Each structure stands twice: as structure tokens, then as C-alpha cells.
């Protein structure tokens, strides 16, 4: 697998353009011991080979999608300035670029008016959303599904907020009836709907949750860190399409551009429908907020120092790939979902496997058939290891019996869950690589148990 070298010529040209913007300054050449730097860099390169090939189509394990080349180049370009998007004095151009990029994401969800910013990732973005919810609903609980990201329970504990887990249905989606029962008991101030759970890619039934909001008073936070960009995809099934069509009714939304948005880590985004929540961030920092009367991003963010490089990379990517249905970016999402559906269909035809769910987005999950639940878990781990030996990198995840029974992977339920194999088919080119992925999976799996 060769890495891209030709694009470095574009970086050199862009760097010369950047340099000309500061021609009026007296020369201040950097001091660099070239040989020592070369040795250090080569040592780093050798250390970095001790990684799984996250960039390659044969890697379908965790949610690791390579940045777009233009994002990589723009990120590197910005480091010659190294802006800090806390205050305008530290990141004037990159702060403006962040505001423009965040506004483009907000418009994707139908929001022309919003408050939002970039942050280190989904954890920090969800933390800010739950913190604002706590300020608006002091003492009230946060509720999220049993398949929601673990960060919600953990962040609720950090915030000193009660947390309630809502059961899921056989598809891994929040059970609206179970939610209604919890709401009727009282005490819930915020409901987290997940559009794209990180384990199975399930999409919570947002229309039904919004119907409950009409009868019960709660804030709605949508965690779309993984799945948010799929609002642009034209090949979603009806339940997911209905959920995405209603996302604009949320009070807050989280999205991770470093997942499907083709950005380097870390780049998360939190959005609020009501800009008035900015009052909770209000503070004074006279030694940083002095260069402009305009809004400094540090005034609407819990993080202080924040890399302007993330904003430059995202802004540049959006300049090349606008967030449009039917556009190049959207077609990449559709290709990943098509590949996931094709993989699911192939697994259905293989009597060694029991796929759990038709993928709603681009995650595929399947059990390895065996006599018992414990044996199925052991077989999944064996296939996982054997596939890695063949340079096919999958993931493992445990799922409860309630989500597995319809697939009938075992005869004897001697455990309440089964460890399954999982593939995140996030790279558009994986549709073309599917025959090779299946060939290696077949070789790793051996004969039926």
C-alpha cells in the first residue's frame, strides 16, 4: 500500500502563498539541525509502522476513516501559523473559518440560526450539550438507550446528574414504549436520541420520541457523532429516513467530522438550536479577549486553547466537498452503506454466520453460529484473530440476547450475550474491495461448527 507523495507539491505551493502574506516582516529563519531532525523523523516513522492499517480498505474494524488528502494538507499548512481558536487574537482567520464551517454543518440540519463550535471530539461535544441541559433542567435526569454510547452515563456522573437507561427493541433502537414508561414516572429532563449507535449503527425512532415530547416536558439532545452526515444520503431505509428528516427539531446536536467528515482527529462539533444558551458560557478574560469586540469562540466553549488547524482543515474540505445531497461527499456515504448492505447479504447466504440486523447506516454485525452462546463468542474471537493474520481487520462487540434471538445463532443460551464480529464499512472504496474482504473472511472462518 503506497502513501500519497504527489500531494506534497500542493502543500509546497500553498505554503509559498501563505508565506507571501507576511512578506513585510524581516526574515526570521527557523533553526533546524537537519540531520538530527531527519533521524528523529525516521525514528518516528518506524515507530508508526506498529499500527493496524487504518487507511486501507481491508481495515473494517473500528470507526477509523482516513482524512481526505485536502484536509491533511490544510491541517499541515496551518501549523506554520499554529493558530489557537480560543480568542480572535490567537486565531483570527481560523476562527472565521470555524464559524463558517460550523454554520455549514448547522444548515445541513436545517438550522440557519444556531450556536455552535468545534471541539476535541464527541465526548467533549456531548459533555457541553449535557452541561447546558443540566443548567436548564437542574436536578433532572438524563435518559439514553442501552445501546447509546457509554459516554452519556459517564458524563452524567461527572455532572452530578441522575442517569436512566432505556431498553432497546430487537433492532437496537430505543424502545419508545419503555421511554414513555420512564417519562411517566417523572424526573427526566433530557432525552438523548442516538442517530447511529456506535456498536450496531442503529437509528433511534426520532419521530416517536418527538411525539412523546408533546406529552412530556424534556429537552431532546441528538447524539449523531457517528451517523450525523447520513442526513445527506439518498439510500436510507424508511425508518432511518424519517428519523433524519426530524433531526432539526432537536434542542442540541453533536456531530464528529473526524468520523465520516474526512477530518483528522480530533474534530467534534456541538450545535444548539437556541443561541441564548450562550449565557451559560459567559465569562471574562481581559488578557485574551482584547483584539476585537466580535464574539471570540472561547466565549462559547468550555475548552480554552483549541487547535485552529482543525477548523482550517474542515473549512478547506467543505470548500472542495460541499454538504449537498447528491454531491460527491454524499455519494461517498451512499457507497459505504451500499457496501454494508452487500456484506450483510453475503453473510445471510453463509450458513456459518448469523447477521443480526439489516444495516441502517454502514455498520455490519454478525454472530458465528455454534451450539451455545459461549461457544459462539469463542468462535467469533477465533475468526477475529484468524482474519487479522490474513490482514483483514474486524472488530468484536457483545450484544444482548434480545438483539440476537431473531437471528437464531445458537441452540443453547448459556449466556445472556454473545460476542459478535463487527465491520465498519466506512470507506467508499470498500464496495469494490468486498470480494477480497469476503475471500479472506471465508479463509479465516473455516468449516461450519
Which pLDDT does position 4 carry in this prediction? 84
In degrees, to the nearest 5, what angle opens at C-alpha 239 toward C-alphas 202 and 204?
40
393 secondary structure, DSSP code: B
167 secondary structure, DSSP code: P
Which pLDDT does position 287 carry in this prediction? 45
- Please tell me the distance from the alpha carbon of residue 146 to that of residue 154, in angstroms, as a whole number: 13
Sequence-separated (6 or more) residues with CB below 8 Å from residue 184: 216
Edge-to-edge strands of the sheet including 353-355?
353-355, 363-368, 417-424, 395-400
- How do beta strands 219-223 and 252-255 pair? parallel
Give start and end residues of each alpha helix (H) in 27-121.
Answer: 34-48, 69-78, 92-108
Which pLDDT does position 283 carry in this prediction? 64
pLDDT tens for each residue of 135-152: 999 999 999 999 999 999
Instruction: Please list the residues that pair with 141 across neighbouring strands.
Output: 188
- Please tell me the distance from the alpha carbon of residue 241 to that of residue 245, in angstroms, as a whole number: 6
Place of cell 479463509: 443
Domains, in order of start, for the chain: 92-320 (3.40.640.10), 328-445 (3.90.1150.10)
Ranges in the chain, pLDDT < 70: 1-2, 283-295
Type and span of the H or E element at 437: helix 430-445
Grid coordinates in use for 134?
443540566
**Torsions phi, psi for 271 (to 5 deg):** -130, 140
Place of cell 482567520: 93
- Please tell me the distance from the alpha carbon of residue 159 to that of residue 142, in angstroms, as a whole number: 11
- Please tell me the distance from the alpha carbon of residue 22 to that of residue 34, in angstroms, as a whole number: 24
- Please tell me the distance from the alpha carbon of residue 400 to that of residue 416, in angstroms, as a whole number: 6
Which pLDDT does position 281 carry in this prediction? 85
- Please tell me the distance from the alpha carbon of residue 446 to that of residue 28, in angstroms, as a whole number: 63
The beta-strand segments (E) located in 304-416 are 353-355, 363-368, 395-400
Which pLDDT does position 1 carry in this prediction? 47
Count CB neighbours of 122 within 10 A: 25
Amino acid at each position: 500500500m503506497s502513501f500519497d507523495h504527489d500531494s506534497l507539491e500542493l502543500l509546497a505551493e500553498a505554503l509559498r502563498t501563505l508565506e507571501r502574506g507576511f512578506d513585510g516582516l524581516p526574515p526570521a529563519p527557523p533553526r533546524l539541525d537537519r540531520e538530527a531532525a531527519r533521524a528523529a523523523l525516521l525514528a518516528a516513522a518506524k515507530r508508526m509502522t506498529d499500527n493496524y492499517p487504518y487507511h486501507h480498505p481491508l481495515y473494517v474494524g473500528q470507526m477509523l476513516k482516513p482524512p481526505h488528502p485536502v484536509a491533511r494538507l490544510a491541517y499541515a499548512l496551518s501549523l506554520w501559523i499554529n493558530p489557537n481558536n480560543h480568542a480572535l487574537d490567537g486565531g483570527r482567520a481560523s476562527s472565521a473559518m470555524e464559524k463558517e464551517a460550523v454554520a455549514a454543518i448547522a444548515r445541513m440540519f436545517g438550522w440557519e440560526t444556531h450556536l455552535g463550535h468545534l471541539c476535541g471530539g464527541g465526548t467533549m461535544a456531548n459533555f457541553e450539550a449535557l452541561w447546558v441541559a443540566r443548567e436548564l433542567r437542574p436536578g433532572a435526569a438524563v435518559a439514553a438507550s442501552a445501546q447509546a454510547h457509554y459516554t452519556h452515563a459517564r458524563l452524567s456522573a461527572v455532572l452530578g446528574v441522575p442517569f436512566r437507561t432505556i431498553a432497546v427493541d430487537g433492532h437496537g433502537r430505543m424502545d419508545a414504549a419503555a421511554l414513555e414508561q420512564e417519562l411517566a414516572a417523572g424526573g427526566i429532563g433530557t432525552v438523548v436520541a442516538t442517530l447511529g449507535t456506535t456498536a450496531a449503527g442503529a437509528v433511534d425512532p426520532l419521530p416517536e420520541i418527538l411525539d412523546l415530547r408533546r406529552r412530556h416536558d424534556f429537552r431532546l439532545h441528538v447524539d449523531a457523532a457517528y451517523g450525523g452526515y447520513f442526513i445527506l444520503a439518498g439510500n436510507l431505509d424508511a425508518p432511518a429516513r424519517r428519523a433524519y428528516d426530524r433531526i432539526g427539531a432537536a434542542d442540541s446536536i453533536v456531530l464528529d467530522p473526524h468520523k465520516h467528515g474526512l477530518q483528522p482527529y480530533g474534530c467534534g462539533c456541538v450545535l444548539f438550536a437556541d443561541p441564548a444558551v450562550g449565557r451559560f458560557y459567559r465569562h471574562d478574560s481581559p488578557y485574551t479577549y482584547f483584539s476585537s469586540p466580535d464574539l471570540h469562540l472561547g466565549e462559547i466553549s468550555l475548552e480554552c486553547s483549541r487547535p485552529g488547524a482543525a477548523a482550517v482543515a474542515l473549512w478547506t474540505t467543505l470548500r472542495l466537498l460541499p454538504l449537498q445531497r447528491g454531491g460527491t461527499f454524499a455519494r461517498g456515504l451512499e457507497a459505504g452503506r451500499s457496501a454494508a448492505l452487500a456484506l450483510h447479504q453475503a453473510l445471510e447466504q453463509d450458513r456459518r454466520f448469523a447477521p443480526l440486523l439489516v444495516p441502517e447506516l454502514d455498520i455490519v454485525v454478525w454472530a458465528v453460529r455454534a451450539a451455545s452462546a459461549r461457544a459462539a463468542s469463542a468462535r467469533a474471537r477465533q475468526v477475529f484473530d484468524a482474519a487479522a493474520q490474513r490482514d483483514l481487520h474486524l472488530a468484536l462487540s457483545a450484544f444482548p440476547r434480545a438483539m440476537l434471538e431473531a437471528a437464531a445463532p445458537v441452540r443453547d443460551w448459556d449466556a445472556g450475550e454473545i460476542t459478535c464480529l463487527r465491520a465498519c464499512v466506512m470507506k467508499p472504496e470498500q464496495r469494490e474491495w468486498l470480494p477480497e474482504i469476503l475471500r479472506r473472511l471465508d479463509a479465516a472462518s473455516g468449516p461450519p461448527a
